[in-house]
A and B are shown apart, each in its own frame.
Chain A
Amino acid sequence: MSVAIAEFIEVVKGLFADEELVEASTSFRELEEWSSMQALILIAAVDEHFGVTLPEKEFRKAITVEDLFRLTNSLIKNA
């Protein structure tokens, strides 16, 4: 089981009003809409759609959407 990058990006896009700005290479923390609450919304959305909870310390290390995607897939693999 793994998630496709396109599917992952779709979920992340859905969390931002300006979804055009969300791509694999996007540094999501630099988006104007980013906030500590947005981080919780993202963690909850990944949990809901992909069944894994991003660990806080590893989540903090993620810079791009692709980093999150890789982290999610590694968690799915080890689940």
Chain B
Amino acid sequence: MPEVSVSGVSIKGISAAVPSNREDNSTLESISERSRNEILNQVGIRYRHVAEETTTAADLCFTSAEKLLEQLKWLPSEIGLMVFVSQTPDYLVPGTATQLQDRLGLPTNCICLDINQGCAGYVYGLSVMSGMMRSFGIKRGLLLVGDTITKIISKEDNSLRPIFADAGTATALEFDAHSDEKMVFRLGSNGSSFQAIYTEDGGFRNLLNKDSLKMKVVSEGISRQANQLNMNGQAVFTFGLSTVASEIKKLLKSEQLTAPEIDYIVLHQANQLLNDSIVRKVGFDKSKAPTSLYNFGNTSCATIPLTLATQLREEIMNSRKTMLLSGFGVGLSWGNVILTTEKVICPKIIYC
């Protein structure tokens, strides 16, 4: 699909919440000193906020949304659309957005829906929100993006445990028919590689069974159940280097923009080496690519809004910024968008 452009919808606020419980990779005893150094220095992750058993992605998003509405001085009754993006919903049935409608006190005629997306989920969410708001004439909407992905990661998986963490975010969007602001998207998927990041059992293709729950040794230091997350890091890495970098270049070209005209490129936060490589390939200076990996790790769909709310908070609150946001991963899917923000309300990160 070529570029798609939506005009009149812009981001008015972004907030993020993480669990207060924090793990430190530098003291993680289950991994070797060498692995620890690789994770700290190459992958770039030190701290990870990990949710308690009773805290869900919906809880973290709810907290973010409540704070954001309060600071924006928006009334819940003004929200006409709410999208919840997650791969860790509260229940398999029904979707989580309906319960968030009730918890946030949104009107019962507010359109509420779930999107099952991961690393590209923020950009997919922005595309659905902006497209629906523009075509339906909805003035105000909330995009809630979060995951407690650690709940589906084996504690005995030394390849994934030091990488993944939890977060929930809220983004407030407003439609103004007279505004010239636009978001330009390039979205895509390659489902032939869906097994690069997936949980084999526990859905409706492979129902949860007794065998699903057996801890199996995959290799030294890696044991997991069939209903826990499995990732082929090399496949994801080459996907990022080739497809994602090329898609970003195509988007810049279509908009006749070059790196100097973009204030920031905000990439999904999975691996610093990968992000440095992508940034170099698409011609950006590293200083334009903020990172939140060190403090927050890979929080799945939440990484981009979490990075905006923590690394660029002052900038997006006080000035006008043109940014390229790039989400990529599970699916395998990718979503890139160029947008401009101005005076975004951005509460301090919430630890809950």
**Which residues of A come within 8 Å of B, CB atoms?**
35-37, 39-41, 43-44, 47-48, 53-56, 59-60
Q: How far is the CB of B331 from chain A (nearest CB, A)?
A: 16
Write the nearest CB–CB distance from B272 to chain A, whole angstroms. 11
Expressed in whole angstroms, the Cα–Cα distance for A8 and B237 within the complex equals: 21
Kindly list the 10 A-B residue pairs having the minimum CB-CB distance in the complex, ordered from nearest.
Answer: A37-B38, A53-B242, A56-B235, A53-B241, A44-B277, A56-B234, A56-B238, A40-B237, A47-B241, A53-B238
Known: A44-B273, A53-B241. A59 touches B234 (CB 8 A): yes
B281 touches A40 (CB 8 A): no
Q: Is B137 an interface residue (CB 8 A)?
A: no
| Pair B242/A40 contact, Cβ less than 8 Å | no
| CB-based contact A40/B274 at 8 Å | yes
12 contacts between A and B (CB under 8 A): A36-B234, A37-B38, A39-B234, A40-B42, A40-B237, A41-B42, A44-B237, A44-B273, A53-B238, A56-B234, A56-B235, A56-B237
Give the distance to chain B from A8, nearest Cβ to Cβ, in Å: 18
* CB-defined contacts of B235 to chain A, threshold 8 Å: 56
Known contacts A47-B241, A47-B277; A40/B271 CB under 8 A: yes
Known A-B contacts: A39-B234, A53-B241, A56-B237. Give 16 more (CB < 8 A).
Answer: A36-B233, A36-B234, A37-B35, A37-B42, A40-B42, A40-B234, A40-B274, A43-B234, A43-B237, A43-B241, A47-B277, A48-B277, A56-B232, A56-B234, A56-B235, A59-B234
B280 lies within 8 A of chain A by Cβ: yes
On whether A44 and B241 interact (CB within 8 A), knowing A35-B34, A36-B233, A36-B234, the answer reads yes
Enumerate chain B interface residues (CB-CB to A < 8 A).
34-35, 38, 42-43, 159, 232-235, 237-238, 241-242, 271, 273-274, 277, 280-281
> Known contacts A40-B273, A41-B42, A56-B232: does B35 contact A35 (CB below 8 Å)?
yes
Taking CB atoms, residues of chain A closer than 8 Å to B233 are 36, 40
Across-interface contacts of A55 in B (CB, < 8 A): 238
Contact across chains for A41 and B273 when beta carbons are under 8 A apart: yes
Q: Which single residue of chain A is at the shortest CB-CB distance from B196?
A: A56
Q: Is the interface of B mostly helix, strand, loop or mixed?
A: helix
Q: Could you say which of B35, B38, B238 contacts A43, with CB atoms under 8 Å apart?
A: B238
- In the assembled complex, the Cα of A35 lies from the Cα of B280 at a distance in Å of 24
Complex Cα distance A53/B273, Å?
14
Residues of A within 8 A of B274 (CB): 40, 44
In the complex, which residue of chain A has the Cβ closest to the Cβ of B38?
Answer: A37
Chain B residues with CB under 8 A of A47? 241, 277, 281
Enumerate chain A residues within 8 angstroms of B241, measured Cβ to Cβ: 43-44, 47, 53
- Look across to chain A and name the residue whose beta carbon is closest to the beta carbon of B234: A56
Contacts of A41 in B (CB 8 A): 42, 273
Give Cα A44–Cα B238 distance, bound, in whole angstroms.
9
Other-chain contact of A54, B35, B159, B238, B277 (Cβ < 8 Å): B238
Q: What chain B residues lie within 8 Å of A54 (beta carbons)?
A: 238
Q: Collect the chain A residues with CB atoms within 8 Å of residue B159's CB.
A: 36
Bound form: Cα–Cα A53–B234 in Å: 11
Query: Across the interface, which residues of A come within 8 angstroms of B281, CB to CB?
Result: 47
Q: Bound complex: CA of A60 vs CA of B159, how far in Å?
A: 18
CB closest chain-A residue, reference B39: A37
CB distance from B101 to the nearest CB of A (A): 42
